[in-house]
Amino acid sequence: MMMGEGKVGAKRNSLFYVSILLFWFAQYIYMPFLNPFMSGIGITATVIGAIGGVYGVTQLVLRIPLSIGASLVSSHKPIIIGGLFAVVVSCLLPVFSHSWIAFFMMRALAGVSSSTWISYTSYQLECAGDTINSRMGLVMACYMGGISLSQILGTAIYDIVGINGLFYIGALAAALGAILIVLTPFRPRFEKKENKKQFDWSLWVGAIKNKHLWMCSIIMSIGWWAMFSSSWGFTGVFASEKLGATSVQVGLIAFVCQMASVFISLVFGRLKGRKLPERALLICAFVLLGIYCVLSPHCPGATYLIILQLVGGAAISVPNVLLFANAGRELSSAQQIFSMGIFQSVYSIGITVGPIVSGLIVDAAAGGFTIMFYSLGIVSAIGAAMVFFFYKSR
C-alpha cells in the first residue's frame, strides 16, 4: 500500500528537520571548547583567528558554484549527503593530531560541509509558498536547536571524554544524519530528462542585479562578523583566560546563547503568514547585538557573562530568520537557489574576516579582548545603520 501524499509530506518534513539538527549538532559539539583548547596548548590568538576564518573562506568560494550545481540536479539529496560526509571526515581529522595544521584542515573541511547548507535552505524556500517566515523559523530553530543540544552534551561530558571524544560523537551524529537523508522522500524539483533545460543564465544575472538581495547579504555578513568573533569565537577564550571560567561555564556560555536563538526562531515559526515590522525588528536586533558586545568585557565573572548571552543569542536570531527568509523575496521561485548562493557566499565574508581581525586585535593590542569587543560593538552599529538607511520592509 502506497503512502498518501499527506503521510509522505509528514515523513519528509520530520526526517528532514531531524537531519538539520544532526548536521549542526555534529559541527558544533566541540566548538565551545575548541578555541580555549587551542589557546591552552599554545596556539596564538592570531592563528586561532585564521583557523576560524578559513571556515568562512571555503564557504565564500563554494556557495555560488554549489548553487549553480544544485540548479542542475533534480534533487538536493546528493549535495546534502555529501555535506554530511564532509562533516564526518572533518571531525575525525584532528583525532590523529592536535597541531594547528590539523585544526586548520578540520575547519576548512567544516566550511565545505556548511556550504551545502544552501541545499537545505533552498529546498525549504522552494516548498514554502506563503509560509516562508514560518518555514524558515522552523529551519532556524532546528539549526539552533542542534547547536544547543550539542552544547548541552558537550558541556556535560567534556571533562570525561576530552576533545577527541567530542570529535568522535560529532562524526557519529553526522553519519546518522546522512542515513536519515537517504531515507527522506525528497520531492523532485523537476524530471531528470529536463535537467539541461533548467539552467538559465538570465535567471542568475537577474539575481545578481537584485539590490535587495545584496543588501540583505551584506547586513547578514555584519551580523556574522560580530557573532563568529564573540560568542562563537573568542568569548570562551576570554572567559577561560580572564575570568577563570571552568569548562562547564565555557559550555554554558555557548549553550545559553543558542537557547535564546532557538526561542526567538520558534516564535517566528509560530507567526504563519503574519506581516512583521522587519526593519524595526532588525534595527533593534543590531542595537542589542552591539550592547551585548560592549558589555561583555566588563562582566565581573563568568556567571554574568553567561546571563549576557541571552541578549546576544536573541539578537542574532532576528536577522538570521528574517534575512534568510526575505533576501530573495523580489525574485522568482526559479531564482531562489541562486539568491541563496549569493546570500550565503556574501555573508561568509563576515564569518571569514571577523575572526581573523579579532584574533589580530587580541594579540596586537594591550587590553586586546576589550578593544576587540568594542570593535564588534562598532560593527553592530554599522549593521543597524545599514538597516535604517537601506532596508525596506515587505
What is the tens place of the pLDDT at every residue in 282-339?
Answer: 999 999 999 999 999 999 999 999 999 999 999 998 998 889 888 888 887 777 778 8
Residue at 191 is within a domain: no
Residue at 288 is within a domain: yes
Only one residue has cell 586561532, namely 48
Closest CA to 156 of 289, 86, 249, 259: 249
Domain range for 113 is 8-185+201-390
Residue at 371 is within a domain: yes
Spatial distance between the Cα atoms of 275 and 272, rounded to a whole number of angstroms: 9
Q: What is the pLDDT of residue 72?
A: 74
Torsion angle, alpha carbons of 93, 99, 103, 105, to 10: -70
Spatial distance between the Cα atoms of 364 and 118, rounded to a whole number of angstroms: 36
- State which amino acid sits at residue 265: S
pLDDT band at 5 (very low <50, low <70, confident <90, very high): very low
Closest CA to 386 of 344, 339, 323, 335: 323
Spatial distance between the Cα atoms of 135 and 60, rounded to a whole number of angstroms: 25
Give the three-state DSSP class for 328.
coil
Residue at 193 is within a domain: no
Residue 366 has pLDDT above 80, yes or no: no
Structural domain count, the chain:
1
Residue at 195 is within a domain: no
Q: How many helices (H) and strands (E) does the chain have?
A: 16, 0
Predicted model pTM: 0.80
Residue at 386 is within a domain: yes
pLDDT band at 142 (very low <50, low <70, confident <90, very high): confident
C-alpha cell at 221: 555578513
What is the tens place of the pLDDT at every residue in 222-281?
Answer: 999 999 999 888 999 999 999 999 989 998 998 899 888 888 877 876 665 566 788 999
Q: What is the mean pLDDT of residues 57-70?
A: 84
Q: What is the CATH number of the domain that holds 345?
A: 1.20.1250.20
Residue at 190 is within a domain: no
Q: Which of 11-20, 154-163, 211-220 has the lowest mean pLDDT?
A: 11-20
Closest CA to 224 of 390, 2, 376: 376
Residue at 128 is within a domain: yes
Q: What is the pLDDT of residue 3?
A: 39
Do residues 138 and 262 make contact, with C-beta atoms less than 8 angstroms apart? no
Q: What is the pLDDT of residue 166?
A: 96
Q: What is the pLDDT of residue 126?
A: 65
Percent of the chain's residues with pLDDT above 70 = 87
Only one residue has cell 585564521, namely 50
